[in-house]
Amino acid sequence: YKYIRLYHPNESSKLYPRVGRMSNNSFVDLTNVDEAAFPLFKEASYSECVIGPGDMLFIPRWHWHFVESITKHSAMEWLHNSCKMAECEVDENVEFSFSVSFWWGARIEKK
Confidence at 13, pLDDT banded by 50, 70, 90: very high
Nearest residue to 3 (alpha-carbon basis) of 62, 37, 47: 47
Provide the pLDDT for residue 101. 57
Assess whether pLDDT exceeds 70 at residue 85.
no
Nearest residue to 52 (alpha-carbon basis) of 1, 99, 102, 109: 1
Give phi and psi for 13, each to the nearest 5.
Answer: -65, -25
What stretches of the chain adopt beta strand conformation (E)? 2-7, 47-51, 64-69, 73-79, 82-86, 95-101
Is the full-model pTM beyond 0.85? no
As a whole number of angstroms, the distance between CA 91 and CA 108 comes to 40
Assess whether pLDDT exceeds 50 at residue 87.
no
Assess whether pLDDT exceeds 60 at residue 111.
no
